[in-house]
Amino acid sequence: MKIIMLGAPGAGKGTQAIKIAEKYGIPHVSTGDIFRANIKNNTPLGAEAKKYMDEGKLVPDELTVRILLDRVAKDDCKNGYVLDGFPRTIVQADVLKEELTKLGEKIDYAINVDVPDENIVRRMSGRRSCLNCGATYHIEHIPPKKEGICDQCGSPLTQRDDDKEETVKNRLKVYHEQTQPLIDYYEKEGALKNVDGTKPMEEVFADIIAILG
Looking only at residues 112 through 171 of this chain, which bind ligand AP5 when binding is defined by CB under 6 A?
Answer: 123, 126-127, 136-138, 141-142, 162, 171
Residue 153 makes contact with Zn ion by CB under 5 A: yes
Residue 132 makes contact with Zn ion by CB under 5 A: yes
The residues, ordered by sequence, that sit 6+ positions from 206 with a Cβ below 8 Å of its Cβ are: none
Provide the CB-side half-sphere exposure for 112 (13 A, CA). Answer: 19
Per CB under 5 A, the list member of 12, 14, 56, 87 interacting with Mg ion is 14
Number of H helices, E strands in the chain: 9, 7
Per CB under 6 A, the list member of 2, 3, 6, 7 interacting with ligand AP5 is 7
38 binds, among Zn ion, ligand AP5, Mg ion, none (CB under 5 to 8 A by kind): none
Helix (H, G, I), strand (E, B) or coil at 121: helix
* The one segment of 4-12, 21-29, 143-151, 180-188 that binds ligand AP5 by CB under 6 A: 4-12
Q: List residues with catalytic annotation.
A: 13, 88, 127, 160, 171
Query: 190: phi > 0 → left, psi -120 to 50 → alpha, else beta; which?
Result: left
